[in-house]
Structures are given as C-alpha cells and as structure tokens.
C-alpha cells in the first residue's frame, strides 16, 4: 500500500518531524510513503496529480492552505481520501490540526501568571493560517487581561528571522519583560540575539516558543514552549488514511489535537 505526503519545506523542524512520524507509522503498517515537497500552495495541485499518477491510495497535505485551496484540492483528488494538517478547523475538508488558539492562550496565560505586562509578540508568516491563528489567540488572551502587546513583529519561521526581528524588538529604551514567539526555531534566534545584547533569559526577558521540537530542550536555556505532539499527529494521520478505503463521500472529519505547555527555563 502506498500513501502520499505533500509537505511544506522539510528544512523546517516541524514539518520534518511530522514527515518522520508519518514514515515510521506507515512503515509499521506495511505501507510506503511518497513525499512531494512544495514551496508554494499553488504547486499543490501538480503534486496531487503527480502522486495520484503513482497510484497512492491516500494523501496527507502538510502545507498551510486557505479554505478554498484545500476544498478544491480535496475535490481534485476524489475519490482518493485527503487529510489536511495545516488548515483552519472551519475548512470543509478532512483535517487533523493542533489547537492554535488553545496553544496561544497557554503561552500568554503563562506569562501573565508570572506577572508580566510588557509583552512583545513575534508571529509567523502572514501566509500561514496557523501563524495567524496563534497571533489572534495571543491578542485575544492578552486583551481579556487588559494587556496590549508592547511590540509586534513577524518572522518567516527560521531562526535567522527570529534573530533579526529580536534585534528590532529589543532596540527600544524599555525592554519588554517577555516575548511570545510563534515557533521554537525563531525562539532560538531570539535567544541568540539576547545573548549578544547581554540580555539575560529569563532574568530580564522571558521567552516562550511554540512546537516543542526535539531539540528545544537543548537550547540555552532550555525552552519553555507549547508542545505540539508531532509524532502523535503523524501516527493518527496514517491510521486514519489507511482506514479510509472505499468510504468516499462521508462527512469530513475535523479533529483538533490539544496542545500542552512545557515549562522549562526560559521563563521566570
């Protein structure tokens, strides 16, 4: 049996860990996985066609897609089942997504509980539905506590962008007390910038990431972050796809996976 995985840039830690989990679980189930990597959502249709030509019996799509893009891809692939991993939970497609609002709320509430009020936000790219949902979740959680972020910047998920944006966010006369970062790789860049500027983490600045990729416990200091269980997501997606045979036409299954806060040493 053969499954297809269409994924965004595998040089990023989160998608590569998802792909790894998918491969592992498929292997255990005796299935193989053909991987197609795309740089832009517009390339997804060609990837679907290419994988269908290779007779995959199910498709996983881990590319940030707008609702209409996902809905049209699902229609193009029919009757082959497709499961989307990076869409809004409102899209009328089969999806398995981490709860971005819950994750954002957990990070923001953690900082508020520590007594921080001057909080900066470093979001992910505007083109990512998940990045937008995390930003919206931070803003609404802070607003509910009567707190307005002291600064907002946007990176591209890379550590390099985290480093560069941190230099901007930390350039002012008054430092934020804390920063919420939309992923661990950008948080790595933020902490590097802090080290260079002599800003103590967490003494002067608390840093919260998002993902809990496998290296995040090894950052200096070990990163407090919102854990998305990538292994579990990969495993469940493979199991769902392999169970789909012949069930075309059934109602979309929208599953939201809960996330958890992992407290390490970058917040105080």
Of all residues in the shown chain, the one whose CB is closest to ligand IPT is 183
Task: Record the tokens describing residue 33, joined without a space.
Answer: 């996985």
SS3 content of the chain, % helix, strand, coil (to 5): 40, 20, 40
- Nearest to ligand IPT of 148, 215 (CB atom): 215
Note the residues at the interface with ligand IPT (CB under 6 A). Answer: 8, 12, 14-15, 62, 64, 85-86, 128, 130, 157, 183, 210-211
Q: In angstroms, what CA-CA distances link 79 with 75, 82, 239?
A: 8, 9, 18
- Nearest to ligand IPT of 118, 256 (CB atom): 256
CA gap 4, 184 in Å, rounded: 27
- Nearest to ligand IPT of 161, 177 (CB atom): 161
**Distance in Å, CB of 8 to ligand IPT, minimum:** 4
Peptide bond into 79 cis (omega under 30): yes
Instruction: Collect all residues with Cβ–Cβ distance below 8 Å to 131 and sequence separation of at least 6.
Output: 64, 123, 124, 125, 154, 157, 182
In whole angstroms, how large is the CA radius of gyration of the chain?
19
Please tell me whether residue 59 adopts helix, strand or coil conformation.
strand
CB 13 within 8 A of CB 215: yes
**Distance in Å, CB of 233 to ligand IPT, minimum:** 7
- Nearest to ligand IPT of 106, 175 (CB atom): 106
- Nearest to ligand IPT of 3, 99 (CB atom): 99
- Of 36, 11, 266, 59, the closest CA to residue 160 belongs to 11
CA gap 2, 192 in Å, rounded: 42
Please tell me whether residue 239 adopts helix, strand or coil conformation.
helix
**Distance in Å, CB of 3 to ligand IPT, minimum:** 17
- Nearest to ligand IPT of 164, 211 (CB atom): 211
**Distance in Å, CB of 153 to ligand IPT, minimum:** 16
Instruction: Collect all residues with Cβ–Cβ distance below 8 Å to 57 and sequence separation of at least 6.
Output: 1, 2, 3, 80, 241, 245
- Nearest to ligand IPT of 88, 177 (CB atom): 88
- Nearest to ligand IPT of 157, 219 (CB atom): 157
Quickly count: other Cβ atoms within 10 Å of residue 247's Cβ.
9
CA gap 101, 117 in Å, rounded: 20
């Amino acid at each position: 049996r053969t499954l297809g995985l269409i994924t965004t840039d595998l040089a990023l830690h989160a998608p590569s860990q998802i792909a790894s989990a998918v491969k592992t679980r498929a292997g255990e189930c005796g299935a193989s996985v053909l991987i197609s990597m795309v740089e832009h959502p517009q390339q997804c249709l060609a990837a679907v066609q290419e994988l269908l030509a290779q007779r995959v019996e199910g498709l996983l799509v881990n590319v940030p897609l707008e609702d209409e893009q996902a809905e049209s891809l699902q229609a193009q692939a029919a009757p082959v089942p497709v499961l989307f991993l990076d869409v809004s939970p409102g899209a009328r497609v089969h999806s398995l997504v981490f709860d971005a609002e819950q994750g954002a709320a957990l990070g923001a509430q953690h900082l508020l509980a520590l007594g921080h009020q001057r909080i900066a936000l470093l979001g992910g790219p505007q083109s990512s539905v998940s990045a937008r949902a995390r930003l919206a979740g931070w803003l609404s959680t802070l607003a509910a506590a009567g707190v307005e972020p002291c600064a907002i910047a946007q990176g591209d998920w890379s550590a390099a962008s985290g480093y560069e944006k941190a230099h901007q966010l930390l350039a002012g006369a008054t430092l934020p007390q804390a920063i919420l970062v939309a992923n661990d790789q950008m948080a790595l860049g933020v902490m590097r910038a802090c080290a260079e500027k002599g800003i103590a983490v967490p003494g002067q600045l608390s840093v919260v990431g998002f993902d809990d990729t496998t290296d995040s416990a090894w950052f200096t200091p070990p990163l407090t972050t919102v854990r998305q269980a990538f292994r579990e997501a990969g495993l469940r997606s493979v199991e769902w796809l392999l169970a789909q045979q012949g069930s075309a036409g059934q109602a979309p299954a929208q599953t939201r996976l809960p996330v958890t806060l992992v407290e390490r040493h970058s917040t105080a």
